[in-house]
Structure 1
Amino acid sequence: MKLRALLLAALAVPAAAQAKPVPVPNVAPVALNEPALVEMVKTLSSDEFEGRSPGTAGEEKTVAYLIERFKAAGLQPGNKGSWTQDVPTVEITASNVAGLAITGGPSTMLFAPGKDFVAGSYRAVDRTAIADAELVFVGYGINAPELGWNDYAGLDMKGKVAVILVNDPDYETATEEGPFKGRRMTYYGRWTYKFEEAARQGARAALIIHDTFPAAYGWNVVESSWTGAQYFVQKANKGMDQTEANGWIQKGVAEAILKAAGQDLTQLTAAAKQRGFKAVPLGLKASMNFDNSLRTAMSKNVIGILPGKKRPDEYVLYTAHWDHLGRCKANAKGDDICNGAVDNATGTAMLAALAEANVKAGPADRSQVFLAVTLEESGLLGSEYYGANPVYPLAKTVGGVNMDALSPGSPSRDFQVVGGDKSELTRYVNAVTKAMGLAQSPESDIERGYYYRSDHFSMAKRGVPMFNLGRGNDWVLGGKAAGEAAAKRYNAEAYHGPEDEFDPNWDWSGMLQDGELFYRLGRSLAMTSDWPNWHPTDEFRAIRDKSRKGAK
């Protein structure tokens, strides 16, 4: 029996003791307001809105327009009588970055910023200076109690620098078998988790070893992403609970450092893949320093609510991000506005369309919250702020539906679930897609960890089960060839560029199919007394159990 099956069996409740699953409510098909949907996408992605960049006149117009549309849909203000939630942010830009110095080996090694390593601080301080901090190789830097895995076991990381492998231990597996779901990346494989866990362990700094295949992107992506302004939600403690510095090092740099410590990266990597791995102090010390320029700003989430008729203090969440990139690099025609029509005027407009449809259907048993979040493009900051400062308690939030970048084109015969089978929401997906006559296709590029890269994740990591799915590539008109070609064309020609513009010739039938799927899923959750949970070995199960226990 495979290890994952053994873990599931060990954690499962005996069949005789299991409660009978609550039936999934049957939700009738919905006729969404297509003209209003089209008009809203056209308006949000017009040049007048200047690419909807937070902190600009484009934000002011966007927020005012969303409030207007939420009112017209029949929602009530969602934040104690207000339509908005302030999202305070801080921009931190590192400058005067000194080289990464490694001492304690045969000779001092100095690695160049950008070329060899990148680093920044999550702390809102004017200067970061780390001198002679001990280096410790901590394998994949994972602490997963539900899987009996702890790379930090018996280790005191206070004042030390964690050197961490990217991804998780079984990423090379061709299938999804293994404690960390094999080829499918889990949250434990994401760089964000590794930095967060290093901070929880008391590390002074954390350095992830970059390797293109397990990272799923080249060093150029790391360098470009980490050498400019970094955006964070403002915290009362100015981020002082985080490490002083987080960064990446090239694989060749890691090999040189480990060689100086009398170690071999290949051998240590093999050891780190095994349960019971023990962290390895390297006997070397690291020094780095840089200045930080700080700039604070305020943006806004927009929130509307349709109160429930039976259990108004239980909530179902719908999310979409309203922001995009604003002014950007001009194309060959001189157009320098990244309008973000697909990404994410479509999801934002669908949010209002679903609000209108639910109001027309009448209040559900549970309250339905419609949340248009800001600063997704800057690192999910609007949803992160809501997750950390929820208007409605997350322990009383049953689950939710996130909508990001809906594709124009034909309806599909299939759908894809991003993240795979993580929770009991799967029962709802199966029931609704069966009613709609849709087949499930495997998620594309499961090694890229897409479930952890959109706004639903800010709720999921705090325990709230979230849907993230949409129609697949097997289009009714043109089959897989047409669906795959459309996706490839958008990614190559329009994604995050001025070409992502509204087209009056779009086929909206596929987006309407998406909308019906989202409507049925969300309304199903709002019309049941069920509390779907994560599966027993999922990385978010423990936090949900803890929050729900407190709610009861």
Structure 2
Amino acid sequence: MFRFTCVAAASLALAACNSSSDSAPDSAAELNIPEVAPGDLSIDTMKEVTKTLSSDEFEGRAPGTEGEKKTLSYLVEQFKRVGLEPGNDGSWFQDVPLVEITSKDFKPMTVTAGDKTLSYDFGDDWVGTTYREDKTTSLKDSELVFVGYGINAPEKNWNDYAGIDMKGKTAVILVNDPDWEKEDQEGTFNGKAMTYYGRWTYKYEEAARQGAAGAIIIHDTYPAAYGWNVVESSWSGPQAYAQRKDGGADQTLVNGWVQKNVAKEIFSATGHDFAKLMDDAKKPGFTPVDLGAKVSTSFDNDIRTFKSKNVVGILPGSEKPDEYVLYTAHWDHLGHCKANAEGDDICNGAIDNATGSAALVALAEAQKKAGPAKRSMVFLAVTAEESGLLGSEYYADNPVFPLNKTVGGVNMDALLVGGGPAKDVTVIGGGKSNLDAFLDKALEEEGRVATPDPEPQNGYYYRSDHFGFAKRGVPMLYIDGGQDLVDGGREAGAAMAADYTENRYHGPDDEYDPNWDWSGTLKDLQLFYRIGRMLADSDSWPNWKEGDEFRAARDKSCSASDSGC
């Protein structure tokens, strides 16, 4: 589902993160939020960069193609023009080694329970792949263990793996997190608002940390926020990943999904009450259940490795050049795709995300005109977002600038263009930290208001390029476009979003339109400009609220060094 993701902005907590980040401020009054004058932003720059990057000449900007080469060359040209310096030790680039694994020749997934053998076909009943760079994947007679929601959250006193050794076993996991059925956002896991622990990415990561051989998530449409058709299409065909140093040896052999009715059949065959175990998994103190069954499957893998690139530019700070504020956006799109009725098969990605890439250039231009901020400002154009946030994930795992010296930042993905200005912005992940105060200050200066995420159950905070930084503790902002347009109100805003989603999103018709109204985009850019400048001229350090799923990562990062946060 598309969202007008103007910037990544999960309101993040700012703490006076000294050497150890032990004292997150309790109120905005404890934060240093400087006054910031409006930026001298160029809509002509936005128009020209968006138009150029989304032209047919760039072939949809797919990583590993001629379109990438042209995109990188153009972005460097623009970064130089507006006064940025190369950010990676004299280079404009960070190499991002990628691996593409295409699994094939799937054998059925078989489950043996006593004298019963159940067999399930790939696609209709289950889907899966491997994160390991192995030519052949074979999961044989692996014991099935129901681990509830597959969560290990010490800060919430919750461990679904308590008391079990998962080595060689396969975890069977529920989608989302334990209190997703609540009507409000109160509860151990924020009620209906999905947390990181509810995302399938986390569940596979945790299963690997537990030493599991396999991890299988039970699909359920509402808590997943998408149907089986989405799972099947997404997990069939080539899967791209950021290349791991060990070739993925520390990952599970098989990660996959099963239909809910398949899970029910397996539980019944093993003598377990599926509904009761689902209910038990929602309660504190749940412990894993050995299902008394074994699972097997195998498949072959075609493996292709190649390198893409992130683009890194910097404006050095005047007083604290070794402290960094980030602006991020992904430069890539889908390349060639399914043709439209006119036979056009280039997915140009004008909105998604030539606008975000153009915003990097326009914001860098304005920040350069304003003179150096106290802290350095980094402008990071990342690759392979469309393949699963791979460029940002690689950077966050291999940072050019240390994460404990990275103050926080703003991510921009698919800016609102064409509908004119909005009275509001949609805040995704609000209430997680005190960085809400920076956003609130910027909104006040722009005469706008914040609207809460209308669909917190869908976990949008965990689905864009800021996420790789957030899960490693770096606060990043996530703000969607406004819902309440000055001209036409909420009805007009909803109609514009629906039109884009239905007619252009991830298709050949996401093209530049010379008749677009850019006035709303300018207001969004001013918001991003103010937030970045406030952070860069502040002496406060971001942190998450006590009990947030990312707090422990930030505290650990900050305490690992005498310098930085």
Q: TM-score range by the shorter chain?
A: over 0.9
**Which whole-Å CA distance do the structure 2 matches of 1:17 and 1:39 have between them?**
44
1:468 aligned counterpart, secondary structure: strand
Question: In structure 2, what is the Cα distance between the partners aligned to 1:307 and 1:470?
Answer: 29
Task: Say yes or no: does 1:465 pair with 2:475.
Answer: yes
Deviation, 1:371, is 0.2
1:456 equivalenced with 2:466 (yes/no): yes
1:115-514 alignment, distance < 5 Å:
115-408=124-417, 409-514=419-524
* Selected match of 1:540 from 520, 525, 550: 550
Report if the CA contact (8 A) 2:137-2:300 is conserved: yes
- Indicate conservation of the 8 Å contact 1:162/1:206, yes or no: yes
Structure 1 residue 227 displacement after superposition: 1.0
- The CA deviation at 1:319 is 0.2
- How many residues end up aligned between the 2 structures? 541
- Distance in 1 separating the partners of 2:28 and 2:202: 34
State how far apart, in whole Å, the 1-side matches of 2:202 and 2:45 are: 40
Per-residue CA deviation, residues 163-186 of structure 1 (Å, 9 max, x unaligned), is 000000000111111111111111
Residue of structure 1 equivalent to 2:55: 46
Deviations 1:100-155 (A, max 9, x none): 11112341111111110011000011011011110000000000111111101111
* C-alpha separation in 2, matches of 1:15 and 1:332: 55
Q: d(CA) in 1 for partners of 2:139 and 2:338?
A: 36
- How far 1:232 sits from its partner (Å)? 0.7
CA RMSD across the alignment: 1.6
- Unaligned 5+ residue runs, structure 2? 1-20
Cα distance in 2 for partners of 1:356, 1:17 equals 35
- Picking from 68, 72, 88, the partner of 1:79 is 88
Give the aligned residue type for 1:502. Y
Q: Is the 8 A contact 1:94 1:290 kept in 2?
A: yes
Tell me by how many angstroms 1:316 deviates. Answer: 0.3
Distance verdict in 2 for CA 1:118–1:352, change over 3 Å: same
Q: Deviations over 1:307-327 (max 9, x none)?
A: 000000000000000000011
Change (3 A) 1:49 1:396: same
Distance 2:410 2:231 in 1: 30
Percent identity, aligned pairs only, is 61
CA–CA distance in structure 1, aligned partners of residues 25 and 259 of structure 2 = 53
Q: Measure the CA separation in 2 of the matches of 1:177 and 1:199.
A: 30
Distance 1:244 1:434, change over 3 A: same
Deviation at 1:20, TM superposition (A): 6.2
Q: Which residue of 2 aligns with 1:8?
A: none
Distance 2:182 2:533 in 1: 38
1:295 is paired with a residue whose SS is strand
Q: Which runs of 4+ in 1 moved over 6 A?
A: 12-20
Alignment deviations for residues 475-504 of structure 1 (CA, whole Å, 9 cap, x no partner):
111111111110010000000001100000
Match of 2:72 in 1: 63
Report the TM-score when normalising by structure 2. 0.94
Distance 1:82 1:276, change over 3 A: same
2:293 maps to a residue whose letter is L
Post-superposition offset of 1:234: 1.1
Deviation at 1:22, TM superposition (A): 2.5
Residue 412 of structure 1 aligns to which amino acid in structure 2? A
Note the C-alpha offset of 1:471: 3.3
TM-score (normalizing by structure 1): 0.96
- The alignment partner of 1:157 has SS state of coil
Q: Which has the higher contact order (CA 8 A, sep 6+)?
A: 2
Q: Tell me how far 1:23 sits from its aligned partner.
A: 2.7
Q: What letter corresponds to residue 436 of structure 2 in structure 1?
A: T
Distance in 2 between residues matched to 1:140 and 1:54, nearest whole Å: 35
- Secondary structure of the 2:290 match is strand
Pair 1:107–1:453, CA change in 2 (3 A): same
Closer/same/farther in 2, CA of residues 227 and 14 from structure 1, 3 Å limit? closer
Cα distance between partner residues in 2 of 1:308 and 1:142: 41
SS for the counterpart of 1:129 is strand
